[in-house]
Structure 1
Amino acid sequence: VLAILMLSDVLRSNLLVLEGAFDQNLLAAFLL
């Protein structure tokens, strides 16, 4: 069970990082 929880935490943090990068790309597109 711990492995699954750790895996979900890693996936969640990766999704947050991807979402942050996506937001930055959107901001850059608007600024350009």
Structure 2
Amino acid sequence: INRLSTIINEKLQNPIIIPNRTYSFFIDDKQIY
């Protein structure tokens, strides 16, 4: 949950700079869950 919140915060702050990184993080979270 903490990681997801940080991802959302990064998305809001830098939506254009980190598109691929956020997708990879989401994939990691799905694998962890």
TM superposition score normalised by structure 1: 0.49
- The structure that has the greater radius of gyration is 1
> Would you tell me which structure has more helix in proportion to its own residues?
1
TM superposition score normalised by structure 2: 0.48
